[in-house]
Each structure stands twice: as C-alpha cells, then as structure tokens.
Amino acid sequence: MGKELQKIESFRYALAVAETHEEISKIENATAAIAEFARRQKVSFDRQNDIGAFRIEIEEKKGQWLNEHFPHGSVPGESGKLRVAHDATRKMPANEHESARARLIAEAPKEKKEEAKKKIIKRGDIITPAKIERVLRKEKAKDKPKPPPIPDGEFNIIYADPPWQYEHIVDETRDIENKYPTDALENIKSLKIPVHKNSILFLWVPPSLIRQGLIICDSWGFDYRTHFVWDKETIGMGYFTRAQHELLFIARKGKMKAPEPPDRISSVYREKRTKHSKKPEFFYEYIEKAYPDGKYLELYARNTRPGWTSWGNEI
C-alpha cells in the first residue's frame, strides 16, 4: 500500500497544475481506485481518510474549473434547485449530478467542509465526496427559510408530492438528500390541510413506500380508492427490483364524485422521466379536465401553475 499512498503526493502536485477537465478527471479516477484498494485491503482508518480528504480537494478543483469555464451550466441555486442553461457551442464535460456536487464542494466555506469531515470521521465513516456533499446539503437545508403558512380556504382538489424519506439508500450517489431536503413521515402526517368536506387527493407515492402513503391518506382524512401508474420508461435503483414506475394514489373525502365516464382514462401512463422528481404535465392536465370547477391546491410544490394555489419551500 505504500506505493499507492506515495502516488497521492504526486497526484497532489499534478492536481495543482492541472488545467483541463480531462486532467482533473484522470486524477480523480486514479485516486478513487486507490481509495477502493485501501478499503479492500483494510488499510488503517486514518490512512483511508487521508485519501478521502484528497478526493475532496479534487472535487474543489473540478468545481472551480466548471465555474470558470461553464458559469452558466448546472449550478445549485439558493432554493436547492438546479438552474440549467444550455451552451450551444460547447458541451459541458460533466453530468448534472457530477457538476452540482463539484460546485457545491468548491463553493462551500472551508470551515464548513472541515466540520463535515469531522462529522463523518466522528461517526466512524470514511470521507467520500458523496458523504461530504450529503452533510453540506443537510446543513444548507437548515438555513433555508421555512415554507409560508398553508393558504386559508377550503380546497377540494389536493395534489401532493411529499419529500419522502427512505429507510435505506441504495447508492449514495443517488441519495435523495443530494437532490432536496426530505421530511420525516410524522411531519408529513401532521400537516393541516384546508380541505373541503367533499374533496379528492392525488398523492405521489414511490413503490417502496406504499404503507407510508396509506398512512398519509388516513392522517389527512382521505380514504384510498385506487391509483395511477406512471411508467418512467427508464430503470432506476432498488433492492429487490429496479424501479421503473411511480404511483399516484387517488383518495377521497366525503362525497366527492368520480370523474365523468368520458374522463375515466387508463390507469397506466407512459412518459420518459426527465429531471429528478419532476412529474409529467399530463397529470395536471388530467386533473383540470376531470374536475374543471375544482379549487386546486398543490402541496410541496416546486413550481407555480395558473389557476392553482401552490405551497412549498422550493417555489
């Protein structure tokens, strides 16, 4: 292992003089391979974290390079969203997630990164870019303003896409916390919704959280009736299966009528997924057609829509 650790010092010099994304990526890949070798060889905890700390230096350099050469690329906005501007003349040599992670680490104050490293080490973990990113995003989320009070009134159409927390993380690079702050089931349950006595709920639920979805329906005063299946056409992550679909629960309160027969459509809708967590416009359009006189409220909204009242901390 001694030779591999010596390489880190030569990589550190190479990183300092690197001028292209390709040079930085080459150092990044070689260092990641050494980190994996050290893990398998059960090298000492401190040595593995020395390698991990250098991987963070690489992320900083990569983020600085992206900010310098692609100032209008994918960057973490203050709201936690990604602002994406396409460059017609050049293709950014990093995907959305890679870019967002590198920029976040590059832009974080040094003391915040040091605190993040200490937290990871204190809990007995090895420093990695993904773990540093996760800690920084959670800290950043604490500084976000709380969402405004839920609007007054009585809404009979409720559309919600809660920030579910998962019990397990399949792949730390796909960690939901890397995308937006999640919320505990108890907090989602306790939400006080200004709902009419006769109303309908459309609730997005991941396949692995059906039980939690039913709990939310009950807590908000709705009876589960059925659901849509959105076939995303793209295979995602998963333990027992790799998820390709998401469910849109339909639950009713009181005597809210079902859509008229001409508006009763197939329970399966197919459209390729795009940005993380973004749902198809099709479902807004369906709801508006099926309930044209509804008073619409979207909970945990990330955008606004004409004719709807939107509530959430990412608008």
Per residue in 207-241, pLDDT tens?
999 999 999 999 999 999 999 999 999 887 777 88
Please write the tens of the pLDDT for every residue from 240-255: 888 899 999 999 999 9
Boundaries of domain holding 208: 155-311
pLDDT of residue 98: 84
The percentage of residues in the chain with a pLDDT greater than 90, rounded to a whole number, is 64
Long-range Cβ pairs for the range 141-148 (8 Å, 24+): 141/80, 141/181, 144/79, 144/80, 144/181, 144/313, 145/313, 146/313, 147/311, 147/312, 147/313, 148/311
Other C-beta atoms lying within 10 Å of the C-beta of residue 166: 14
What is the rounded average pLDDT of the residues 42-59?
Answer: 94
135 shares its domain with 258: no
DSSP letter (8 states) at residue 179: T
pLDDT band at 2 (very low <50, low <70, confident <90, very high): low
State pTM to two decimals: 0.61
Largest pairwise CA distance in the chain: 73
126 shares its domain with 168: no
> Is pLDDT above 70 for 88?
no
Domain boundary at 142, 170, 202, which? 142
71 shares its domain with 13: yes
17 shares its domain with 131: yes
pLDDT of residue 177: 47
Mean pLDDT of the chain: 85
> Is pLDDT above 90 for 256?
yes
* CA–CA distance, 205 with 245 (Å, rounded to integer): 10
Domain boundary at 110, 142, 174, which? 142
The percentage of residues in the chain with a pLDDT greater than 70, rounded to a whole number, is 84
Strands 268-270 and 82-83: unpaired
307 shares its domain with 161: yes
213 shares its domain with 88: no
- Domain total in the chain: 2
> Is pLDDT above 70 for 145?
no
195 shares its domain with 275: yes
**C-alpha dihedral, 124 to 128 to 130 to 136, nearest 10°:** 70
Residues 6+ apart with CB under 8 A from 71: none
